[in-house]
Homo-oligomer: A and B are copies of this chain.
Amino acid sequence: MSLTVVGSIAYDAVKTPFGERERMLGGAATHFALAASFFDEVRPVGPVGDDFDEESWRILRTRGTVTDDVELVEGGRTFFWKGEYSANLNQRETHVTDLNVFETFSPKLSQASQDADVLFLANIQPELQLNVREQCTKARFVAMDSMNLWINIAHQALREVIGTVDCLILNDEELEMLTEKPTLLQAAREVLSWGPTAVVAKLGKYGAALFTADDFFALPAYPLSEVIDPTGAGDTFAGGFVGYVAAHPGEALDHGLLARAMAYGTALASYNVEEFGTERVERLTAEEIQARVADLSRMTAFAADPVALRA
């Protein structure tokens, strides 16, 4: 089995109240791959420039990730993003977005990447997502992310891709913006009517919620004493979530499976934000992930105890 992801591979300059990094490996496909590599062989698809250094290739290949479809554009420069977070990390300001090699990117998938069992379309132009979606004809589960930019300037194309996937993973505010609905439940139901069988709302520091035709499931974020750098948390969540599905090829893609997948996404994301960029997840262990999944199970379970109520 294998898991293909298309999305950005980038260098990030990040400043938070707790420190800064001038240039570190980042990008949606990178964070996704680092998390998903715990579950399956991952094949990222995306361009890099010839400034992409050996150390970055090494990190990208953590836990066996196959970089055959990472396209090295000679004479090009790798996507670069520079941003800064507010004191409470609730807001971030983008200072620089240099698309560089992404400006002319046209995804070319090897046969192995096209044959992926599971596919994740990270946040890129909806037209590119659709292009990749159409190349991966054998995928039994396809999930995607997006962002407010595409909701505003490429609404129709975005609607079209959403209609071809099994699961949309998006911030709650973006879901409400996308559907023009006043509550998350209405927004999720609207998206489910467009084709997907599942919608995951990312709630930032409040966790994530899962909507299917049958049911609802929600998990808080793992409680952390310190959050150092939220960059990549959403993609790390997606890597754990989609990776978990990829690791269960024989199972029905039902609400229960996706709920358990949410726990792995949440555990992975909690480690990601404890240090800058990929630093924590690079050296993360399976035991550490299992420990937080078990914690989350305990921290959300309660025994319904039907107390006698007064009338």
For the complex, is A218 an interface residue (Cβ under 8 Å from B)?
yes
Which among B39, B207, B262 is the interface contact of A309 at CB below 8 angstroms?
B39
Instruction: Name the segment of A103-111, A124-132, A290-298 touching the other chain.
Output: A290-298
Instruction: Name the segment of A45-53, A71-79, A300-308 touching the other chain.
Output: A300-308
Please give me the residue from chain B that is nearest to A217 by CB atom.
B299
Q: Closest CB of chain B to A33's CB: distance in Å?
A: 12
Instruction: Name the segment of A143-151, A159-167, A177-185 touching the other chain.
Output: A177-185
For the complex, is A252 an interface residue (Cβ under 8 Å from B)?
no
Residues of A in contact (CB 8 Å), total 65
Instruction: Name the segment of A7-15, A112-120, A222-230 touching the other chain.
Output: A222-230
**What's the Cα separation between A82 and B283 when bound, in Å?**
55
**What's the Cα separation between A79 and B37 when bound, in Å?**
60
**What's the Cα separation between A220 and B209 when bound, in Å?**
9
For the complex, is A61 an interface residue (Cβ under 8 Å from B)?
no
| Chain A contact residues, CB within 8 Å of chain B | 17, 37-40, 63-64, 87-89, 176, 182-186, 189, 203, 205-207, 209, 211, 215-220, 223-227, 244, 247-248, 256, 259-260, 262-264, 285-286, 289-290, 293-294, 296-311
Contacts beyond the supplied A220-B220, A285-B311: 8 A-B pairs with Cβ under 8 Å = A17-B182, A182-B227, A186-B225, A206-B207, A262-B302, A263-B302, A290-B306, A300-B300
